[in-house]
Chain A
Amino acid sequence: MVAIRGSGLTSLGREPDPSSLVRAAVDRALSDAGLDVDAIDALVVANAAGEAFTSIGNVSVWTATEAGLAGTPAIRVDTGPSSGLAAVSTARGWLGAPGIDNVLVLGWEAMTSVPTEEATEILAGLMAADEREAGLSLPRLVACLTRAYLDRHDRSLAELDRVAHKAHRLAEANPIAQFGEVTLDEIAASRVVADPLRLMHCAPLTDGAAALVVADEGPVEIASMGAASDHLAYTQRRTPPERFQATQDAAEACFASTETERSDVDVVELHDAFVSLEAINLEDLGFVPDGEGLDHVAEPEADALGPSPAVNPSGGLKARGHPVGATGLAQTVECVDQCLDRAANPVADAGTALVHSIGGFGNNVHVALLEARP
């Protein structure tokens, strides 16, 4: 068995000092695991763009040193915004090698120390060069995906506003979240970033760190994982323009190697860097038929957690925050908390959770299935 023995997450928002982020996440994960730092045999660091955002070099060794793990084997994993979950996959593979019994997986990103325009430019490095040169950006690519989706399934922009509203409503109750509640009017009146997407449809720039101790025993099992990539450029793909094939493939791989079925999943933390992705991902993961995702996630009347499976009870990337290299781990920490009945917005009787993380525009997708041990 591969399990999560302890987990910890910093507050998300503005704290651009990577040292304090790293130390806080490590302290929380070790304390939760009931371990001293000496018990850690190996470190996997998840970080997407530390060199560009902070000018820190040799991120693996820098992080090990800050974590009090100088001398410990350390690998840095970078798959862009899915680095956190890719790092879990790396730790899972490393565990069980001679002398490797406890692996610390530590993700961090400090994004707010550079101006927003510079941060956007850094993140555009995830794209194909010819698409950047054609005037595209990540928000413009997702705007294209979103328009194709709304058109194909005859859904409205107002429904996306309600997804954003729901995310902020859930984040309001989550003490580590970057944002709290906003009104539907504020969402609808926010500036257009890339038509039809408005600012309040997009996840923010976030500083934050998250950590897990991965071991062969623990209260939450990593029951299965799956991953897939896709062509780098949108123009190279031949799949429908409103779908992410890599999400479909990663989910198939994850469920193919376990007895657990989608109907067993109580909680999903999926990659809603833009609110339309909350619906599109839920469909690509196979939880609801194509075109019906918004019925599931666009603010149910009475209960913001909605029908089962509950989707992004943390507030999601959209409102909890999106520290890119740490995001997959922040999502995983939320799912661990749900499985152990200690989350800010608890899903009743949650014992099975799915994490979904995207590393670029519909690319390098990682999926993990977590199950509470009885």
Chain B
Amino acid sequence: MIAASRCPACGRVAAPPRDRCQGCRARTDDETLDPEGTVLTYTSGAEGWIALVELAGGARTWVQAPSEPTIGERLSVDA
């Protein structure tokens, strides 16, 4: 599992966690998330590929991928 935060006011989930919600400024609660998410889009990086991955609750993060991903594929933040 990976560390994240959830906003009790608007429900926004962020990973890595934030003290204050970036949607509404409320104080957030700690949350843990499955490290596997869905590839929203990707491009080529300096080495390999870099994918924008959506985790549970809508949190988005960048994941380095050694081979070309596909949109909709499941990819793990730990990979």
Contacts and interface: CB of A to CB of B under 8 A. Distances in A.
29 contacts: A131-B62, A134-B50, A134-B62, A135-B50, A135-B64, A140-B43, A140-B50, A144-B41, A144-B42, A144-B43, A144-B52, A147-B41, A147-B43, A147-B71, A148-B40, A148-B71, A192-B44, A194-B43, A195-B44, A196-B43, A234-B52, A234-B60, A235-B52, A235-B61, A236-B14, A236-B22, A237-B60, A238-B23, A241-B40
Contacts of B42: 144, 147
Interface in A136-164: 136, 140, 143-145, 147-148, 151
Contacts, number: 56
B8 interface: no
B45 interface: yes
B52 A238 contact: no
Contacts of A192: 44
Given A134-B62, A147-B71, A140 B52 contact: no
Contact of B22 (A143, A231, A242): A231
Contacts of B41: 144-145, 147-148, 151, 241-242
Nearest to A139: B43
A195 B44 CA distance: 5
Q: Is the interface of A mostly helix, strand, loop or mixed?
A: mixed
Interface size class of B (residues with CB under 8 A): 10 to 19
A151 B71 contact: yes
A238 B55 CA distance: 12
B41 to A, nearest CB: 4
A172 to B, nearest CB: 31
Given A136-B50, A231-B22, 4 more contacts: A135-B50, A140-B50, A236-B60, A238-B58
